[in-house]
């Protein structure tokens, strides 16, 4: 038994596979906390990058000062968002809903109403209405859960980054464990891989979504479309979904465009989305994803479907980065990062 255990510890590939399976099992057991785990990682990743970038420009500036200033700025943004922009956003969403209702109730949609009434009974409509109320209650519950997870993640990432150096030093002591050093070294190995694949791909997708939302909002302003902030936020959130996000955002944009300017505006929206998609494919992706793994569209959709099945809504956002991480771990296709800052931090331990 003792010899088998020693052989197991000496075989790097075997015990790394066992460690990876253990990590997956732990994450699966903690799947109810996935919102908090992913948000904490994202906030911590961004703040650590901000610390390294700022200290490169200002070497004598303590990291604690950078962290405090960054979180004060985040709190200020949240305050202004809640007090100023959220009421505007709610008002614009209500107006957009009214516009869509008018669109469905217009004379142009009588044929659709008659068709639906012909095939759908009153009892089925009642059943669907009850189902819709259930979905609404579930959505409101999810919003409350996500809000709690958001603030918990901010607090946890704050305490991690405010004590970044001591956290690294303390974490380094696990690598010197007399009995399980191999396990903690494997966890550190996967941690480095995870940050240098998942983190940079997700960061790139975030910047792409930001650019997509900005370009879309500019075009909507030129077209004098209503509810710019609400539509811009919708485009940003959907653009976090690789490839499919642009296609999904086209549907509500087309409805709003039709309610404002008819079929002519729908054609304009189609042209705008095609141009933005071309800019994303030929300019933004090479710019932000040049050193990352790019997947064929078929693989992307398969990963999105699998991610949504196993992780829900989060799977649409983090499915591709996780799959990229697995490709790197399996040695299928590595992600070459130009500046693996987190990796350097880990190696300083």
Q: What is the pLDDT of residue 101?
A: 64
Q: Which of 4-18, 22-36, 109-123, 165-179 has the lowest mean pLDDT?
A: 109-123
Mind listing the pLDDT tens digit for each residue in 274-320?
888 788 777 776 666 554 556 677 787 788 788 878 777 777 777 87
- pLDDT range class, residue 157, cuts 50, 70, 90: very high
Per the rule left: phi > 0, alpha: psi between -120 and 50, beta: everything else, 120 is: beta
Q: What is the pLDDT of residue 192?
A: 86
Q: What is the pLDDT of residue 169?
A: 87
Q: What is the pLDDT of residue 119?
A: 56
Mind listing the pLDDT tens digit for each residue in 251-277?
778 877 877 777 888 888 889 888 887
pLDDT exceeds cutoff 90 at 249: no
pLDDT exceeds cutoff 70 at 84: yes
Q: What is the pLDDT of residue 68?
A: 92
Q: What is the pLDDT of residue 71?
A: 92
Percent of the chain past pLDDT 90, that is, above it, reads 6
Do residues 213 and 236 make contact, with C-beta atoms less than 8 angstroms apart?
A: yes
- pLDDT range class, residue 22, cuts 50, 70, 90: very high
- pLDDT range class, residue 1, cuts 50, 70, 90: low
Q: What is the pLDDT of residue 136?
A: 52
- pLDDT range class, residue 349, cuts 50, 70, 90: very low
* Token pair listed for 202: 């997700």
Residue 293 DSSP label: -
Longest Cα–Cα distance in the chain: 82
Radius of gyration of the chain (CA): 24
Residue predicted with more confidence, 41 or 201: 41
Q: What is the pLDDT of residue 329?
A: 82
Average pLDDT score over residue span 327-349: 56
List the one residue out of 71, 344, 308 whose CA is nearest residue 195: 344
List the one residue out of 218, 244, 247 whose CA is nearest residue 231: 218
Q: What is the pLDDT of residue 243?
A: 66
- pLDDT range class, residue 342, cuts 50, 70, 90: very low
pLDDT exceeds cutoff 60 at 130: no
Those residues whose C-beta lies under 8 Å from the C-beta of residue 259, and which sit 6 or more positions away, are 99, 100, 102, 103
List the one residue out of 217, 203, 225 whose CA is nearest residue 276: 217
Q: Around Cβ 118, how many Cβ atoms within 10 Å?
A: 7
- pLDDT range class, residue 345, cuts 50, 70, 90: very low
Measured distance CA(253)–CA(264) in Å, rounded: 13
Mind listing the pLDDT tens digit for each residue in 181-218?
888 999 998 888 888 777 777 777 888 888 888 988 89
* Token pair listed for 194: 């995870």
Residue predicted with more confidence, 60 or 113: 60
pTM of the model: 0.70
Average pLDDT score over residue span 36-43: 87
Q: Please, what is the average pLDDT of the chain?
A: 77
- pLDDT range class, residue 339, cuts 50, 70, 90: very low
Do residues 223 and 265 make contact, with C-beta atoms less than 8 angstroms apart?
A: yes
Q: What is the pLDDT of residue 69?
A: 92
Q: What is the pLDDT of residue 181?
A: 86
pLDDT exceeds cutoff 70 at 125: no
């Amino acid at each position: 038994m003792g010899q088998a255990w020693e052989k197991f510890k000496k075989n790097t590939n075997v015990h790394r596979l066992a460690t990876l399976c253990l990590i997956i099992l732990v994450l699966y057991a903690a799947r109810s906390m996935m919102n908090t785990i992913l948000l904490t990682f994202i906030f911590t990743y961004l703040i650590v990058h901000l610390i390294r970038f700022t200290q490169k420009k200002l070497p004598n500036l303590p990291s604690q000062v950078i962290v405090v200033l960054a979180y004060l700025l985040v709190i200020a943004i949240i305050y202004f968002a809640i007090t100023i922009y959220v009421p505007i956003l709610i008002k614009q969403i209500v107006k957009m809903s009214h516009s869509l209702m008018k669109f469905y109730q217009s004379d142009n949609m009588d044929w659709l109403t008659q068709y639906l009434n012909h095939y759908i009974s009153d009892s089925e409509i009642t059943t669907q209405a009850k189902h819709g109320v259930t979905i609404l209650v579930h959505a409101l519950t999810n919003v409350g859960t996500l809000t709690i997870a958001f603030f918990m993640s901010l607090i946890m990432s704050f305490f991690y980054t405010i004590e970044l150096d001591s956290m690294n030093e303390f974490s380094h002591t696990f690598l010197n464990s007399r009995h399980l050093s191999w396990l903690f070294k494997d966890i550190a190995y996967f941690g480095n891989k995870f940050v240098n694949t998942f983190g940079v791909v997700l960061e790139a997708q975030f910047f792409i979504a930001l650019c997509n939302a900005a370009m879309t909002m500019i075009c909507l302003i030129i077209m004098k479309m209503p509810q710019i902030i609400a539509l811009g936020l919708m485009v940003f959130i959907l653009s976090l979904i690789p490839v499919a996000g642009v296609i999904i955002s086209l549907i509500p944009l087309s409805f709003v465009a039709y309610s404002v300017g008819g079929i002519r505006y729908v054609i304009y929206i189609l042209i705008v989305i095609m141009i933005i998609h071309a800019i994303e494919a030929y300019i933004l992706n090479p710019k932000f994803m040049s050193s990352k793994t790019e997947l064929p569209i078929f693989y992307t959709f398969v990963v999105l479907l699998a991610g949504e099945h196993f992780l829900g809504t989060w799977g649409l956002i983090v499915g591709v980065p996780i799959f990229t991480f697995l490709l790197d771990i399996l040695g299928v296709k590595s992600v070459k990062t130009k500046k693996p800052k987190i990796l350097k931090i880990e190696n300083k331990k």
